[in-house]
Chain A
Amino acid sequence: MATDNTSNQKELRDQEWRRELKKSVSAKDRTNIVRVKMPEVDPQERIKSNVEVNSGITAEMAVVEAKRCLDCPDPECIKGCPVGVDIPGFIKCIEAGEFLKAAAAIKKNNVFPSVCGRVCPQEIQCEARCIYTTKLKKEPVAIGYLERFAADYENHSGHISVPEITQRNHVKVAVIGSGPAGLAAAGDLVKYGYDVTVFEALHEFGGVLKYGIPEFRLPNQIIDLEINNLKRMGVTFVKNIIAGRTLTFDDLRQDGFRAFFVGSGAGLPNFMNIPGENFNGVLSSNEYLTRVNLMGAAKKDHDTPVFFGKRVAVIGGGNTAMDSVRTAKRLGAEKAMIIYRRSFTEMPARKEEIRHAQEEGIEFLNLHNPLEYYADEKGHVNRIKLQRMELSDPDASGRRKPVAIPGSEFIIEADLVIVAIGVSPNPLIPQSMPDLHVSKYGTIEVDSEKMESNVSGMFAGGDIVRGGATVILAMGDGRRAAKGIHEYLSRQ
């Protein structure tokens, strides 16, 4: 995807205004600017509600930060972005004060910049490849903050560019699942002129963006806005439909759907299979976050219950673990802990989330692993047996494995345990389609370019293919699949 755009990006960079802008400030002055700090709500304040932690940078801050970008002739940052956003292109629009143009420039490659600007792990993607990181040994240009700024600016401007779709071809395409993969696919398919219907199993749209990632990191209103834009573009959304069950693929074909994109996500939570794991008060992060985020369990008038733990232990070190432990803190936990078998260095969670968690008073029991849970007479968890771990010397692949330290077991108290050790692909669709090729991990097998499965007209992407990845990768898949579907249907 990035390669299609390189010549175009070069052309854009050679435009008169870009060259003028570049000359207007010396490279030295640019590199002397200190990276912008994201304004954040005070930790003591934010743990009392679901308020978004990062408040967003102002226009003035954005313009200054944009000046840091050197508009590199061969911008490595773009290669770090899974969808090849023209990073210097949009940043220079910000420097020039053309915020709406900046948003439009991002949207050429990334349909939901307000989401990605917030949740992309920039520190290992675009920002990791920025020349500031790689050569200048300084903090990278705040690409994510700028992306979010441009997107939010556009959303608040009242001038959201909703592409007008003139050429409708009345060919029906079904999108299964309304997570980032499905939404991105729907957005492109409708632009190609297809008659697109998104089918969602749950009673709300957005997938993990809604039921997983909490409001303090990604407000629901942002996702709803993107979904409304898709509706305005003509995408039909239908909830409470389980593809393969309520409607089988044969039904959908009979209803005239000529191609399918499956973005059904990785749903099935993993457990460790240790004694006591089925006691009450031990739940998967999916259950916990779904109760709180999708079902509103912590709100007074909502019917779904949730445990308000006082001493909460979250097992795992990924984003899901951080989101769970920070949610528990907001629901009144006096002690909220992460229990992770490796050290901070290996933690897969975003660096920002770990820092935010630390600021909020989350305790980290790194290099610890649970062995067993104990419960009170009613079967509710009350204690955990933990074991201390150490990291082995790096093996051939450079990985340091956690190894148990014999005799190091000890017991801690906990009245809520949240298991966040990963998910497996949702089996519902493969179960309902015996011909579909599925890997031994349960992921749908597709060719990596067009995202086409072995079943004619059936494409897939996102976590159901990758088995747990990122929002931007899911979106990238959705867009590639949309292109694949367009080629497939044009051939017919």
Chain B
Amino acid sequence: MSRILLKEYLSPNVVQIEIEAPLIARKRKAGHFVIVKIGTEGERIPLTIAKADIDKGSITLIVQKVGVTSHKLASLNVGDEVTDVVGPLGNPTHIEKVGTVLCAGGGVGIAPLLPIVEALHDAGNKVISILAARNKDLLILENEIRSHSDEVIIMTDDGSYGTKGLVTVGMEEVFKNQKIDFCVTIGPAIMMKFTSLVSKKYNVPTMASLNAIMVDGTGMCGACRVSVGGKIKFVCVDGPEFNAFDVDFDELLMRLGGYKNEEEQHYREQLSK
């Protein structure tokens, strides 16, 4: 059981919650995630640890409401308990000083990007961050990203804030104007597919953090498998970060839709209660 200490909406659909998890806070590194389950009938879902506070013994999760479990989590209040939280899971991001790094985050993908931006910056890299959202209201964590970046570019689909256009447009601009040594991309699978095509065009090594569907998160079930370089990899124990050029994003996209009908039906049933 982990008690909720703070809760705040970052955008209409994205909620930030800080929960008690002293053991996980001590061990967490950038790139790690936890598995969360709510109630005895709950499902297990993976969420990145966006921040951790060792002194307070807490971790912060940033959740986008997409289906039953994320809604359940968002509906809990300060003082409520999250039934099960386990982690840290996955491999931490390999952080190294390489020079100039471009970090591209889309939607709620900005949450897992934050600790990586922070770590890359602390390691002495020049960090350029591109944050993309459909519109101004959906943009999250801008200030936090700014405080660890040398430069921040904002892209919105509708032009309500920053520059109008997709994240890839912003990336092209950067690649054209300066030498980038490494690129990190986190967001919806479809976004990562196209961002890695752009960085491939400019020959910049790129890492993507994959958001496969998971059950246990410990390597036991294989639900999270993806093809990377033609081989089966389990996102939870082999990832979640992979060389973006090797990832079969079309397969990932297809697998993400795997339980769509079942999830949607259950969502409607839960709503009608």
Contact = CB atoms under 8 A, between A and B. Distances in A.
Contacts of B42: 302-303
Which label, helix, strand, loop or mixed, suits the secondary structure of the B interface? mixed
Contacts of A245: 27, 87-89
Contacts of A281: 258
A23 interface: no
B43 A283 contact: no
Contacts of B223: 283, 287
A382 B225 CA distance: 20
A287 B215 contact: yes
A290 B232 contact: no
Interface string A244-265: 0111100000000000000000
B220 A426 contact: yes
B134 interface: no
Given A303-B68, A304-B43, A246 B87 contact: yes
Interface in A198-246: 201-203, 239-242, 245-246
A50 interface: no
B266 interface: yes
B69 interface: yes
A376 to B, nearest CB: 11
A83 to B, nearest CB: 27
A39 interface: no
Contact of B222 (A202, A287, A299, A380): A287
Contacts of B257: 280, 378-379
Contacts of B37: 203
Nearest to B234: A268
Nearest to A284: B222
Nearest to B263: A305
Contact of A428 (B27, B215, B237, B270): B237
Contact of B218 (A201, A248, A279): A201
Contacts of A269: 220-222
Given A269-B221, A286-B221, A303-B68, A202 B87 contact: no
A290 B237 contact: no
A4 interface: no
B28 to A, nearest CB: 10
Given A245-B88, A303-B266, A295 B222 contact: no
Nearest to A303: B43
A246 B218 contact: no
B89 A242 contact: yes
Given A278-B232, A303-B42, A240 B222 contact: no
A268 B225 CA distance: 11
Interface in B11-67: 23-24, 27, 37, 41-44
A75 interface: no
A466 to B, nearest CB: 17
Contacts of B227: 278
B259 A305 contact: yes
Interface in B247-273: 251, 254-255, 257-259, 262-263, 266, 270
A426 B219 contact: yes
Contacts of B83: 203
A267 interface: yes
Which label, helix, strand, loop or mixed, suits the secondary structure of the A interface? loop
B85 interface: yes
A296 interface: yes
Interface residues of B, number: 42
Nearest to A247: B23
A356 B86 CA distance: 38
B216 interface: yes
Contacts of A278: 225-227, 232, 251, 255
Which of A201, A245, A379, A426 has the most B CB atoms < 10 Å from its CB? A245
B84 interface: yes
B87 A290 contact: no
A295 B220 contact: no
A246 B216 contact: no
Given A240-B85, A242-B86, A304-B43, A290 B218 contact: no
A247 B87 CA distance: 10
Contacts of B234: 268
Which of B220, B223, B259 has the most A CB atoms < 10 Å from its CB? B220
A291 B72 CA distance: 19
A427 B237 contact: yes
A59 B5 CA distance: 56
B88 A246 contact: yes
Contacts of A287: 215, 221-223
A427 B24 CA distance: 20
Nearest to A203: B84
Nearest to A273: B232
Given A278-B232, A283-B222, A303-B42, 20 more contacts: A202-B216, A203-B86, A241-B86, A245-B87, A246-B24, A248-B27, A267-B218, A271-B232, A278-B225, A278-B227, A280-B255, A281-B258, A284-B221, A287-B215, A287-B222, A291-B215, A295-B43, A302-B43, A305-B263, A379-B255
Interface of A: 201-203, 239-242, 245-248, 267-269, 271, 273, 277-281, 283-284, 286-287, 290-291, 295-296, 299, 301-307, 378-380, 426-428
22 contacts: A201-B86, A202-B218, A240-B85, A242-B86, A246-B27, A267-B219, A269-B220, A269-B221, A271-B225, A278-B227, A278-B255, A280-B259, A284-B222, A287-B215, A290-B220, A295-B43, A303-B43, A305-B259, A305-B266, A427-B237, A428-B219, A428-B237
The 3 closest A-B pairs by CB, nearest first: A305-B262, A379-B254, A280-B258
